[in-house]
């Protein structure tokens, strides 16, 4: 028996619950984020949803940065969990937006090669950033190490 890493460098496509093409309740959408099975979404006929394209695997440098940001010492000297790393995760993993619906949502990169901070801030304000993060985390968990006999 051996350990197989099946992560790969493939990309994921995620549809937001905020998309007008989607008619699904919160529980079903949660299941969609775990599986990325679009059949769960009950997409409206004739309406093409916006798909956010995310890389499944981040670079070593960005992974290290995100891990470092996840926790730190607060002013009282106690360990605090910091949630700002989610925005960096989305920023590093977002590589394209298919059918953005409006020019304001068009994918743009900053000079460091990652998605623009303005775009990620806009996704955060719209409640989409956490959806993208959750979908990528579920995909990483389901597509990581496995046992084969």
Tell me what the mean pLDDT of segment 49-78 comes to: 82
In this structure, of 71-80, 99-108, 132-141, the range with the lowest mean pLDDT score is 71-80
Banded pLDDT at 148 (limits 50, 70, 90): very low
**Residue 96 vs residue 2, higher pLDDT:** 96
In angstroms, rounded to a whole number, what is the distance separating the alpha carbons of residues 53 and 67?
22
Q: Which two tokens stand for residue 98?
A: 């298919």
User: Residue 146's closest CA among 15, 6, 35, 37?
Assistant: 6
Return phi, psi of residue 20, to 5°: -60, -20
Q: What is the overall mean pLDDT for the chain? A: 85
Nearest CA to 130 out of 47, 26, 6 is that of: 26
- Structural domain boundaries of the chain? 12-132
Q: What is the pLDDT of residue 73?
A: 72
Closest CA to 53 of 89, 25, 88, 12: 12
Per-residue pLDDT reduced to its tens digit, 6-28: 555 689 999 999 999 998 899 99
**pLDDT grade, residue 143 (50/70/90)?**
low
Q: What is the pLDDT of residue 8?
A: 57
Whole-prediction pTM = 0.82
Could you give the percent of the chain with pLDDT greater than 70? 87
Residue 3 confidence (pLDDT):
54
Q: What pLDDT is attached to residue 142? A: 76
Give the pLDDT score at 149: 40
């Amino acid at each position: 028996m051996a350990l197989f890493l099946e992560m790969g460098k493939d990309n994921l496509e995620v549809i937001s619950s905020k998309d007008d093409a989607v008619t699904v309740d919160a529980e079903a959408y949660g299941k969609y984020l775990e599986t990325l099975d679009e059949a769960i979404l009950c997409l409206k006929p004739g309406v093409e949803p916006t798909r956010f394209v995310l890389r499944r695997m981040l670079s070593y440098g960005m992974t290290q940065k995100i891990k470092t940001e996840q926790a730190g010492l607060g002013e009282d000297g106690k360990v605090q969990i910091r949630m700002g790393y989610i925005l960096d995760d989305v920023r590093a993993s977002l590589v394209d937006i298919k059918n953005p619906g409006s020019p304001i949502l068009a994918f743009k990169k900053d000079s460091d090669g990652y998605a623009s901070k303005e775009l990620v801030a806009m996704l955060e304000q719209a409640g989409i950033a956490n959806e993208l993060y959750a979908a990528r985390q579920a995909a990483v968990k389901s597509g990581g190490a496995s046992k084969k006999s």
